[in-house]
Amino acid sequence: MELNLFKTAFGISRDNSDEIFNGFGFKDKSDVTKYYLHPDNQSKSAQTSLSQPIAEGVVMFVEFLKSFYDQKPQGELFYKKSDSDFIIKFSVNEEWHNEGVFDPAIAYYRARINKHDITLCAYDSDDNAIPSVPDNISEHEYFDTITNKTEDELLLEHYKICASFTVLLAKDFLRDDDLQADVYELLNDYNAENFVILCEDFYQRHKYANYKLLYADIKSLKTNGYERFSLDMNISDNQTENDIAQFPAYDFTDEQKSLIPQLSEEFKLDNGLVSVCNAVTSGDVKSLLLHGPAGTGKTMSCKLICQATGLPVMETVNCTENLDEFVLGKYIPEGDKIVFKESFVTKAIRDGGAVVFEEINFSKPQYLAFLNSLLDDNGFVRLDNGDVVRRHKNFRFFATMNVGYFGTKQLNQALYNRFNAVVEIAQLSDKAVERMLVFRVPECKPHVAKILNVYHKIKKKIEAEELDIVISPRNLENWARMAKFEGYPEAAEKTIIPVAKCDRMLEKTFRSIISVYKWD
C-alpha cells in the first residue's frame, strides 16, 4: 500500500484519546504556533497544529534514543553508511500500553526502511509476529472486504501509522544534520517548544513524499554488513585512564613535571585515543599527526594524550606565526659575546618531553627540513653552531593540521611518511560541544540546544554550497560570551554573521536561521 503517510496522519487519532502521549497536552487540532511556525508552512491562517500519530512516533523515537544514553538500550538500529537501508527494533514500554496507545500484546517492533519502502511488524513477548490480516486473504483484499472500517482506521488498528514515524525519524536522525540537531535539542531539554520544532521540521521534510507501507514478518531478516548504532553510542564519559601506561615520573625533572598538562574536567580524552596513548608511552609512536576540521580539538587532544601519559609539553608552536629559521635556536648578544641559545624545541629533543606543532601544513618547507633527520630511526638534529643533538628516548613530536582550508598546503610526502601514526579527529559531538560551552559560559545553558541547532544549519549551508568559510565551536563560544552582554541576535552580528566574510546574501541567510528561534 502506497500513501502519503504524513498527510494521512492528520486525519487519524485514537478513539480513546485525542491527547498526544507525553506531548505536553497538545491535541490534534491545537494551535501550537506560539512556539514555532516552519518557514515552509503553507497554512493560510499562518497557524500550525500537531498530528497525534506523528507526534507520538516522535516521542517513541526520543525515548528509544534516550535509552542508549541511559546505558539501557531498548532495541537496536542497524544502518549502512553507503545507502539508505535501515533496520530497527524498538520496544514498547508498559506505560504506552497503560495509556492505550499500543495494544498490550505488542512487546516490540521490527522495521526496515529502504528509500521509500517501509516494512514493519509487531511482535509479542514470545517473539511471535502479531498478524495483520487473516492468513487466507491479501491485505488489499482485506481492505476491500471490510466495509465498516476505513483504510485509515485499519492503519490505526494495526499501529502501522505511528510506528512508521518512529522508523522514519530514526533514518532522518542518522542522515539529516538538522533533524539530528532537533532531536538532540529535545533530548537535552524536553519542553513544549523543542517538541513542536522537531514535529514541525519532521513533517515539513516529508509532507510531499509517498511511502510504500507493508506489514510483514521480518524476524528472520539478516543484519550482516550493517553498522550497529549501539556501538556508535559507546561514548560514555567513563574514561579508561587506568588502562593507560604512563611515563615513569623519575624520568623527568621537577621543572619538566610542572609542564605536564593539568586540564579541567571540561576536556575528556576520546576512548579511541587510549591505544594511541599506550603506543606513545611505549615508544612505538614517537611522532603523531592529528588532522581534521577546524575547532575539533586537535591540539587539545595532543595535550590530553600528554596528560594521560604523564608527558611534559615543552613547547607549542603555531606554524602560521612562530615557525621560522630559528626554530632550533639562534645566536644572540650576551654581554660582549654572541652566544647560541637553544630553543625549547631543542631542549625537548635533548632532555625529553613533547612538542606540538600546530597547523604544520601552513609552514614553509625549509623550516621543517630538520624533521627529516629528527623523525628517522636514529633521530638527531644539527644546530647552527655545529652541535648534534640526539633524540632523547622520551621525546615525542605531535603535529596538527587542517585539511582543505585557505592557505594550507599538502604536507611533503617524505615528512608525512615519517609520522608513526596519523589520526583523523572527527567533528566534536553535540555532547562534547555542549559540555564545552556550558563549562566555559554557564549562562548559555538555557540556550545551548538552540545554539547547536543554528550551528548545524549554518554548517549544512556551507557544505551544500561548498563555500570557503568555516564555522567552528570557537565561534559558538564567542557568541555565547558576547550574548552575556546583549541578546543572542545582537551578539551574533559580532560573532556568527562575520563568518560569512561580508557576503551580504549569506549574512541574510545566517540571520534568518537565527531569527527562527526565540532567544528571550
- Which residue type occupies 102? F
DSSP, collapsed to helix, strand or coil, labels residue 338 as strand
- Residue-wise pLDDT tens for the chain (520 aa)? 677 888 888 877 777 888 888 888 777 566 787 887 787 777 777 778 888 889 999 999 999 998 887 778 889 998 887 777 899 999 998 888 888 888 888 899 999 998 888 888 888 888 888 875 555 555 455 444 434 444 444 444 445 678 889 999 999 998 888 888 889 888 878 888 889 999 999 999 998 999 888 878 888 888 888 888 877 665 444 444 557 889 988 889 989 999 999 987 777 788 788 899 999 999 999 999 999 877 778 998 999 999 999 999 999 998 877 677 788 888 888 888 888 898 999 999 999 999 999 989 888 888 888 999 999 988 999 988 889 999 999 999 999 998 655 445 567 788 889 999 999 887 777 877 888 898 889 999 999 989 999 999 998 898 888 888 888 888 999 999 999 999 999 999 999 999 999 999 999 999 999 998 888 7
**Position of cell 494521512?**
8
Query: What would the grid cell of residue 7 be?
Result: 498527510
For the domain made up of 241-424, give the CATH fold: Rossmann fold (3.40.50)
Tell me the HSE value of 506 on the side-chain side, using a 13 A CA sphere: 23
DSSP, collapsed to helix, strand or coil, labels residue 202 as helix
pLDDT at position 316: 93
**Position of cell 638534529?**
381
> Which of 9, 169, 163 lies closest to 86, judged by CA?
169
Question: Where is 32: in which H helix or E strand?
Answer: none
pLDDT at position 147: 40
pLDDT at position 334: 82
Contact criterion met (CB below 8 Å) for 179 and 205: yes
Phi, psi dihedrals of residue 359, rounded to the nearest 5°? 50, 55
Domain boundaries, the chain: 2-232, 241-424, 430-515
All residues at 6 or more sequence positions from 455 whose CB lies less than 8 Å from its CB, including other chains = 181, 433, 471, 473, 476
pLDDT at position 37: 76
